[in-house]
Amino acid sequence: MRLSMTSDLWWKNAVVYCLDIETFADGNGDGIGDFRGAIQRIDHLDRMGVTCIWLMPFFPTPDKDDGYDITDFYSVDPRLGTLGDFVEFMRVARDRGIRVIADLVVNHTSDKHPWFKEARSSRDSRYRDWYIWSDKPEPDDPKGIVFPDKEDSLWEYDEKTEQYYFHRFYRFQPDLNTANPEVQDEISRILGFWMELGLSGFRVDAVPFLVEQVTDSGDLPDPHEFFACLRAFLSRRDGSAILLGEVNLPYDDLVRYFGNDLGDEITMCFDFITMQRTYLSLARNDAGPLAAALRERPEAPKDSQWATFVRNHDELTLDKLSDAEREEVFAAFGPDKNMQLFGRGLRRRLPTMLGGDVDRIKMVYSLLFSLPGTPVLFYGEEIGMGENLELEGRQAVRTPMQWTPHRNGGFSDADPSKVQIPMPTGDYGPEKVNVSAQERDPDSLLLWITRLIRHYRDCPEFAWGEYTVLDAGVDAVFAHRADCDGETVVAVHNLSEAEVEVEIALDGLDSSKVLTDLLVDGTVEISGSGRARFPMGRYGCRWFRASTPETAPADSADVS
């Protein structure tokens, strides 16, 4: 593929890295991460090959929900720095060729936000209609309560004005009334403000809840009209800017948020279903569930994309699996109740779920980077960080980044008593898992992921191409190919610890081509009938490029 084409729609084969400023690096020694500290660590991301940073909320907040309860959409939380620090972070990232997107959390505000404080002061307040009120609580759907461990209703009574306000999440997060044109205009202003400071887009939080009918009034706008307008505003300001949507819905419902065939709404949507089926396949040592998900997945519109991931900042949700399937994954990767959350997910990171098996962990990340779509990493995944189950809820996986084996893991030089979020200990503590050590270890997970990123960027077919799930003849092996502009790449992954022999049929290819392994030395012949046979080791992973023998990438033995 032409580089000029792949760089035009930069996000189609980007490498996105999600980080929380509060837990990434402390630059002023107060025990809390900040922009000044993060600036000094951008080169770590640059060396890995990250092309886009996704910032979790950094706005002023009472911090009851890890920053998702916002009191000012136009500023930086003083604990994390200033607008000047933010601009400097943007400048340094841009200097390294790294784009930045940020969380857009406009489903709700904090109840301490000036808008809501004014709204609840009187029924005649100018901000009253910026929120959703009712004289009596509407019937609750228990399935609609996002945090069933903390909330038992979607409505909260306000004594002063004697009405109930709606909150899809916590009671201290009243939902904004997105039917109100003033609220819609304000959301556009928020986007415009941060784009002027350099953002290349936004990760839209909880997309299906942003515009939803919660009363009988029927006055909410069509959600797809709302997102089409939002995307149009974004594109007018910057044609290359994106919306990355958290849309955890069945495929038939989800594709509508792309804008169906037009692709004029959400630019990229997370593929929650493939992620969940991946864990089911891992639990069973059977590629079937993963293969089925990708066969079922609709094609994204031409200028849209799927975002793939194996871990994010929330619980590892398994809500799209059946009850029996979910229990299989729980039994394999989180059998203790303390490892589970909301009855639907796990609050663990991948390395601990896989028992620290390095071969298996590396195979899963190889799988991630070869899946059709744009890969998204959560900070610390590149070194195999673990969780701290002593922390409450989702906080278990949001511990400080581990840079060195020294005090506070190199996250902060403050007195340890000032670091508010404790790191894991034992086998996953910073003494054993840190960036500094892995940079020097040729067999480390960090250098493996760096290598995967390099090869992923060299194989735009994985992100741009037409993909086909292949039959490998072995239940535990997942194989697929991606074709684009006459080029073919093939990825094969063994989900079991047993060594196996694999044979795949490659329609359209014959003995005039060979398969050259991009991850390890080796060339595989293709028969005249288009079949290739090769071994796969324990949790093995192989990426092949099909080419003529004259143009095939060289094996190291050929150039020694």
Beta strand 163-166 pairing with 155-158: antiparallel
| Helix H or strand E segment including 257 | none
The count of residues in the chain is 560
Query: Would you give the end-to-end CA distance of the chain in angstroms?
Result: 29
Q: How far apart are CA 206 and CA 362, in angstroms?
A: 30
Sign of CA dihedral 342, 248, 453, 282: positive
Which DSSP letter does residue 308 get?
E
Q: How far apart are CA 7 and CA 9, in angstroms?
A: 6
The answer to whether 268 and 306 have CB atoms below 8 angstroms apart is yes
Choose the catalytic residue: 175, 246, 264, 325.
246
Active site residue 205: yes
Q: Between vectors from CA 212 to CA 211 and to CA 218, what angle results, nearest 5°?
A: 115
Sign of CA dihedral 430, 433, 435, 438: positive
Strand pairing partners for 517? 544
Active site residue 246: yes
Choose the catalytic residue: 34, 85, 103, 205.
205
CB-hemisphere CA count at 13 Å for 329? Answer: 28
Rounding to the nearest 10 degrees, give the CA dihedral for residues 140, 141, 145, 151. 40
What is the token pair recorded at 136?
Answer: 């009596």
Strands (E) located in 435-499: 466-470, 477-484, 487-494
Sign of CA dihedral 526, 531, 534, 540: positive
Instruction: Provide the b/e sequence for 97-117 (b: ≥16 CB within 10 Å).
Output: ebbbbbbbbbbbbbbbbebbe
Q: How far apart are CA 291 and CA 311, in angstroms?
A: 19
> Cα separations (Å) of 168 from 107, 134, 189, 379?
9, 14, 24, 27
Q: Enumerate the active-site residues.
A: 205, 246
